Each structure stands twice: as C-alpha cells, then as structure tokens.
Amino acid sequence: MVCNGICERVGQRDTPTAPNFHAQAAGHSPVDNVEPFDDHVAALKRVERYLTSDLGVRPEQVVAVGHRVVMGRDHDAAVLVDAEVKREIEEGAVLAPLHNPPNLLGIEAAEVMFPAAKQVAVFDTAFHTAMPLYNKSYALPKRLAEKYGIRKYGFHGTSYTWLTEQAALRLGKDVGDVNLILMHLGAGASMCVSSMYFSRRALALTRASFIVCQVLCAGREMS
C-alpha cells in the first residue's frame, strides 16, 4: 500500500475541533489536519490535492477508483460504473437515503477529477445476495414486497467478506468451509451468519430490516 487516509465529519456545520483529515504515505510525514468539508465532493477534492501536491501523482496516472456503495440490490459482485449503474445507485437511495446519494456524488466527482480512471462500485449488499428467499422475505403480500422492494438486503458486506476470508485463513480452512457468527458493531451495527450451508456468502441476521424489533440498535437512522 502506497498511502492511506480518511476524511471525517463531512458536511458538519461547525468547524471540527479535532483533526479530521488524515493521510499517511511511505516516505512522507503523516498529515493530521483540521479541515472543514462542506460535502463529499470537497472531501474528494482534498484527496486529489494530497495525491497531486504531496505525492506527485498526476490525475492521468490513476487507473481506477473504488467506491463503497451501500445499496446494490441484486448485484452480487463489484461492477464497472456506467450510466445504468449510476441510475441503479440513485434509485437505491429510497432504501439507503443516508448513503447512496453521497456514494453517487463521490463517483461523479471522481469521474471529473480522474477522467482516465475506471470507476468501480463495490456493494455492501453483494455479500448477502445468496440468502435464501425464505430467509430474506417478510410475511407480506408478494405484490407489495416486489413493488416497494421490501426484503432483507444485508449491509456491511465488504466487512463481512474480509472477516470471513481472514477467519478461514487463520483457521486453515477453505472460505466455503467456515461456520461463523459475525458482528459489525459501531454507529452502524449488524450481525451475520456466514455458513457453508448457504455457500460462501452470507446469510442471516442483519440490520437490513424494515421491522424495528428485528434490528440491532445503531447510532444513526436506519437506512
């Protein structure tokens, strides 16, 4: 890894009182600055400035930009972003109003900043697409469920993918042969059963629920 970093408290009205832009690169001093970001586009522009000014990376040298997108509906893998994918992300905002809109803003900003780069969307929900129909369905009329997209989708899939692969590695097993109960705890919280019974992808209890009594408490509004 050449460098890593994070922009925090994006869109916060008050000026941050603690460093919220962090970046670290091999052979360079760490950056920990207080820098207000009005929106996600401003945050991404700061990343671009760090890459070009601090590290000497030219925009045309960036070959790909990965975007974590929360709601991907039926996508079961990462995809190259095109007009259709952007439309799907926009429509997914109905089910993930806190996440998909800024996800899309980031993609569109990156397209302008790094025009030669491939834009890749990695969906949180992709890990959970193998849930059986009986597991992801609610006891609702089929017509309503299909019309409004009401079912369990599962979130934090990128985290669960990494956890499952790391657990299999440390246990000395194939990724399809582990049975795990995984928890992603924080301001956003979820639980997941990852079991060979349902193939290598996931399965069961997540906060992706429309019924309050079935979800874990999280620090922000459910999406």
pLDDT band at 116; cut points 50, 70, 90? very high
pLDDT band at 33; cut points 50, 70, 90? very high
- Please give the pLDDT value at position 205: 40
Say if residue 14's pLDDT is above 90. no
Mean pLDDT for the stretch of residues 132-153: 86
Q: Is pTM beyond 0.75 here?
A: yes
Distance between CA atoms of 136 and 47, rounded to whole angstroms?
Answer: 38
- Please give the pLDDT value at position 54: 92
DSSP readout, 136-169? H--SS-HHHHHHHT-S-----HHHHHHHHHHHHH
Domain shared by 52 and 134, yes or no: no
Highest mean pLDDT among 1-15, 67-81, 192-206: 67-81
Domain count, the chain: 2
DSSP 8-state symbol, 48: H
Instruction: State phi, psi for 16 to the nearest 5 degrees.
Output: -55, 145
Domain extent, residue 205, equals: 130-223
Final residue of a structural domain among 57, 82, 98: 57
- Least Cα distance to 81 among 122, 113, 44 occurs for 122
124 in catalytic set:
yes
The catalytically annotated residue of 32, 38, 76, 124 is 124
- Least Cα distance to 155 among 174, 173, 131 occurs for 131
